Each structure stands twice: as structure tokens, then as C-alpha cells.
Structure 1
């Protein structure tokens, strides 16, 4: 039951992230802030869900989720911090995807599709950094995070 809930949550959050840029109402900073917030929620839920059988992975997910939650709240509500972090926000989001992918690799060693969830996070994180360096369109960047969440949710659903 937990696995299906987490899978559906990942798919739902991913679709929300993919839909937000299409609406065109948020700028790149807001999009990245909301994306980081939704990924942090996902990590916190996963951390709580797996604590019974994977304490190390749960702690990694919870710590990363808390760090990303604090970062997203700071980015959303503190324009001065946002101005300071604007130059590195793109790289932080890409690095976040890579770290989340590596944590997924560690957490999902026993599952059938866990390896692919982690690899997808690492690959999309690298793509995020590369594409973000040359393309300034927030739709593409936000969509990459949404794609990772949807892929993760689908693979977890197939695994569970």
C-alpha cells in the first residue's frame, strides 16, 4: 500500500511540475523553487515510508528532504536570498537531481527497477545542468524534474 501511494504521489507531483511551466505564470526562479519544494515533499514521504526496512536510506531521504524543504522555503519567501542564489540555482537544481538519483540507487538496490530510478535521476540531473547552461527556458528545465518524478513513480508502481 505504501509503495503504491508513493508511486502515485511521485507521478502526481511530476505532472504538476510539468503542467506549471505550460501555464506560463511563473518565472524560472519560482519554477525552480516549486520544483525543489515538490521533490522535498516526495523525499520526506519516501523517507518515512521506508524507515521500517531501510534505515540508512530513510535517513538519507529525510535529511535531503529537509535540506531541500528549507532551501525551497528560503527561495520562495526571501527575494534577497533568491537574488544571491540566482546564479547558482540552476546548478543547485541539477546537482539536487544527481544527489537524489544517487540516493535512489542506494535505497533501491533490492528492487527490480530501483537502479533505473537512480540512473534516471543522475542522467536528468546532468542534462539539467547542460541544457540549463545553454537554454534559459524554464519550461524545459521544470519539465526535466517533472519527468524524473513521473519516471520514478511509474517504475516504483511496476516494482510494487
Structure 2
């Protein structure tokens, strides 16, 4: 019975987030922001303590801590930054897939060039999706779809 209630809550939340996409994006952005902010504080403290043993590693940790602090505050204050960064990362993966696919097609190693063609096609799809995810509304709709599908799967999957 509890599984059924959880599934229905997920379905309702998914429909609400799909109707109002930014309602799904803002909480995820804020939660991610707090997690990255805590990571940044930890890296700063670890970097300061590390300087006594290794100046190079301490400086690297401090720099990473400052970057994490800035990103964490940015995610909390501006959910659009979270959406942009998610789209950018998907876009970068697509770019890598296209390049790897081109190398696979041009390479004489392996003999099967279809793997390269598939990588190029998937890379192009990733590039398109990465450009779409940069829009906060589309990312919110994707979060709503995920909630909806999770709820439906929870209803029908027997454990």
C-alpha cells in the first residue's frame, strides 16, 4: 500500500512539474547548490590543512574549493546557471562522441567502421539535446517526465 501511495505522489508531482517546469528545476538547483557549496567549504578547509604537507596540492584544493563555492552560490541564486551547466556538459559529451566517431570511421584499426557512424549519430543527438537542455523550461519538463515515469514504473513493476 505504501508503494502505491509513493507511486501516486510521484505521478502527481511529475504532472505538476510538467505543467510548471520551473517548479522542478528550482529545488534541484538549490539542493545541488547546497551540496556543491558544502563541497567547496570542505575543499577549502582541506586545502588549507594540506598546504603544510604539500603546497602544490593545497593550492589546487583551495582553487577547486573557490570554484565550488562560486558554483554552489550560483546554483542557489540562479537556477538558470544549473540548467546551462547541465546543457553544456551534455553538449561536451556530444562533441566528444562526434570526434570519437570521426576517428573511428577514418581509422583502419578494428575493421568495423559502423561503430564510428553510430558514435557520430549519437554525438549529434547529444549536441541537439545539450542545446535544448540549456533552456530551463525544457530541463524542468525532463525532470517532470522522470518523476512521472518513475511513478508509473513503481505502479507496474513487481518486486
What TM-score comes out, normalization by structure 2 length?
0.39
Please identify the structure whose Cα radius of gyration is greater.
2
What TM-score comes out, normalization by structure 1 length?
0.38
